[in-house]
Structure 1
Amino acid sequence: MAPHPNKRQNSLPSSFISIQDLLNHKRGVGNLVNVIGIVRDFKPPVATRGSDWKCEISLYDRYTEDGSLDSLTLNVFRPANEMPNPGLGDVIVLFQAKDIKAKSITVNEKFKELKDIRVDTFVDVIVQLVRQPYDTGDRITLWISDFTENDSFFHFAWKGPVLADKPADPYGHESVMPYGAGSGGEWKGPFGKRSMQVTCFDPHTAFIREQGLSFGSWVMLRNLQIKYGRNGANLEGFLREDRGSSGLKINITQMDTTDTESPDPRLKEAVRLKCEYENKIISTFEEILNPIYLKTKVNGQQAELQLPFVNLNYRADVRVVNFMPPDLRDFAQPKKISEFDMLSDQEESDANSDEDRESIADRAAVRQWEWRFFLELEDANAPKDHRGKKKTIWVAVNNSSAQCLLDLDASDLHEDQENLDTLRHRLFFLWGELEEKKSIGEENKRRAAQVALANRDSNRPPLHSSDDESIAPQKQDMELRSSQISNRPFSCCIRQYGVKVPEQDPAKADAGEGKRWQRMFGLFGTRITST
């Protein structure tokens, strides 16, 4: 196979010079040159002392785009009505342009990633709007991020959704957190010290409105002033009228993320960092298990009420340390046929219900089977506590979630040996030798129960003391969760939801008479890929 041609071997027309050669002074200053370049930056026209206006266009080409941010600055002097208005990524061909002074510009010496900005500086940044702009008429507040971290930014920690019955100041001027439940709603990320508040004044506010910039827009902000905000602890940005020019200058440019042919390398890097960040959003079990509180008023007084559950989805790194039922043949259960099955929006239940099950005696008459089992998951990333254990969560696996996980339809596993073998094989990739170790533990407990029964019937003392490690069921469960289980951690999706359960105490019956809500967790959107 012929080697892939290096794009640097694709030569320019004979009368043209590359931007890199021009920057390296391979043509003398003052010569007329022909150049082809892609627009990397454009500074809008400003009036000069004469009759002409001036704009600046920064160009790059295929010879400067790899491993370098060098560009060529083109100064254009023309009447205002003849000024070009190129967009980022446009191709410009210059004939007989005069090289007054070719110089290497690192895209713009003021360009910074947010991680590198410092107080009392003016910078250029490429960022994404990470919440809806907040317009107060005379100014617009933005929250921006390029997904790098700066120690001088506010730390947004994930603590579950912020719920309130009254809208608060949307940018936290009246609260501890610099965000609230106003126009932007609760903070949805990025979390950590990755976001900065920017206050924009005229003429930039008019541009934001006219262009319809909104949550998710990528923009370049030029000449952004960096100062400490009103709390004196966190950096903020201010985009004011450019006082150094004799005319109005718009220092906001909307970036084009659909350009895959010649994307701005700085924008490309920011998008890459966003992708990397989103792939790392992992919840710990401590975060998942933390209670959620509703901020409200009771008798005119501010109060926080603990919610029994919230409908939330999480991503976590876990290991399987236990499962139920203990017999894999019972992972599939008879499904009761109902007229409501024809409704596509009829949701499955993750909770066991005797009413929904057919009698075991009626197995031969059952026409449909469904998956229904539980997995105990251990947080793979959390440290062990003082007892040497990690937090665990029991998750329900309903029929659709199990079909996704196993790529297998349920059947009567007491009769279908082939399906049972396939199930056991696929679950081995999920939990290693867990089934074997659990079977040994269950057998030891069964034998212990038989010995205890025999001793009781014969009126003899037990053969072992009650704290004998070889027989105590509690110790067997502890061994099941020990490091002896050699399965690997994996990423999965977990959802939190609630089910109604019987409750005799009226004070606890928060789901109606004789019922209360119980928080549950379920596995979803996870598949075993090894075969």
Structure 2
Amino acid sequence: MTTLVDELTAIKNVSLVGQTFNLLGILVNNPRIKTGRGDNILDLTIQDEAVPQLLGNASSIALRILRRRIDDFPNINGPGDVVLAQNVKLQTIDSKRTVVAHMQSAASVFVFPLDGIPKADVKDLYSIGAYKLPKLSYKFGSHTNPASETISPPVQVKIIELGAAALQFKSQIDQFAFRTPAPAGQPPIPFASLPATAGVSRQAPPRTLPNCPNTAGIPSQATTNIAHSIPPRKPKWKPKHRRLRELEANKFYDLSGEVVKKVPSDMRSLELHITDYTENSQLYPNMEDNPRPGPVGQMTLLVKVWEPHAGYIYENIEEQDFVLLQNVQTKYSPVGFLEGALRTDRYYPDKVCVRKLDQQDQIDEINDLKTAYFTRRRGQDTSAVANEPKKPSAKAAAKKKEVKREQQRVQRELEQRELEQQLEAKIVAGAGLNPHIKAEFSDIRLSTVSEIIKNPALKRTHPSGNVTVLPFVNAKYRTRVRVVDFSPGFLQQFTRSMADCNWNTALQSVEPNDRKRDDRWEWAFVLLVEDINVPAGATPERLRLFVTGQDAEKLLGGLKAVDLGANTETVVKLEERLFILWGNLLELKESFRGSSKTLPLPSGDQMLQNTPFECCIEEYGKKLPSPNSAHPQGWQRTHRIFGTQILDADPTSS
């Protein structure tokens, strides 16, 4: 197994002509190809600093790749991708510093699409080797063997950091790339016009280019070199990609579509309903009066999703998003309809096979199918009214009976749902839970605080048998707890200013003179909770729950964050809301000030009078400035409250 470059050179330090370097940078131009009789040339510009004010300065450099066939060039999505260039030689071309990857040299260029780079908050998991960048997230040069290459953890971390910077300043990078002109007198040639047959040199493009005025009679590339920018391509899918209308059972597919519903199943899986507005007679039917989301007919596929894909969907995918699911297995459900399964990869257990579509041509393709569907629907509705027969045919009568049966089934489902809700209300009352606090995601299995703390998913067993203990997992839970303490100690400190760089850390990367005035405030406080059932004399498991941002606003019934030190009216409202949540806890905390008594009290102490409640909890990781004995991997396992709301305690005001 060959390890790719460990040592990288900062681009601004590349100065000795003829010397080879290993560079890593963000693509900041629209790639240009020159084709001709000899070598094909791909010109890129990369930069290892993404601050907008520095785009195009000494931290950028031209990169030229020479290949005999265009097929040997790495695949590139566009500006913002991260490029790793290995063993490239510095030359001066057109008075510019240019590093070159010659065909005859050992140079290789790897491109990491921006949409495939993990988020920066998990980079330490890559630094310790717990995760590896998926092989499919980069393309290899012609002198490398994908199966024998690995990327060292430090370089993986740098790729993730550059990806985060590129994402943060994507619009500025796109504008910079747009402003960089193509060479004068050389018209753009669509990349899609070049044949893409692997192993065959691409020949000259057509003389007349579609949708490009004044291009008739362009000389053949056999006699003229032409430089061109690569514009957005037509929707391009991998061979395994299929529309829903093409699906068959017991096969593996890549699927794209619009999310119509996501339903949590338990802490490690969920059900995702997607549609691409094409019909398949093997899919579950969605009838006219069915309350199920999605288009009418057999156009929606239910996909059961497991980790790590489920965690990604929880975090990043919402209803009405356009997504790509890779390696989905199709099978028949117990009732005979086609459904999908997206499981953990046994060889690459951390590989995520879900991503949000960000190429507009791919999204437009699905939107075109959606528009065609609604156009047909409107036409059917109009013709049904204009041409309604006086006497229904046998086929129409059978259809009517089928619809009636479906309506009856739906009614039974609604009645069953109502009974379940009534049963849940009885369970809440029987468990002594606070009826004025509502938790969403009732489909998530209930967990105790102890089960959350000891989540077995923290241990990952690799195919080799090695066990990795992770500092945290991305997971969501539903539990029943009571509040036993909180911090900060004063309600007036429960919000933080977004102008405070110690709280809004994004400001730390911006010069003080460049910071814009920000008068916003954000909720920020912590609840200490424990299980509602603790055996007598036992030490209870306790969990710190962070309450911030929109999750806090939802918990507090829409109460907006303000400067509490200058707004006593909001403090009063806050105290009233939190009294429903924690009872006399604030009163106890205030009475203990200046005395030897402290919170939390021993479990079961009758001084604390509050009612336990049900809530949703999300687990994530918080990056620390440096590792310590308690957190040797540099991450703090953290939990926050979400999907939970304090309702009005007065039924007459609700």
Q: TM-score range by the shorter chain?
A: 0.3 to 0.5
TM-score, structure 1 normalization: 0.39
TM-score w.r.t. structure 2 length?
0.32
Higher helix share: 2
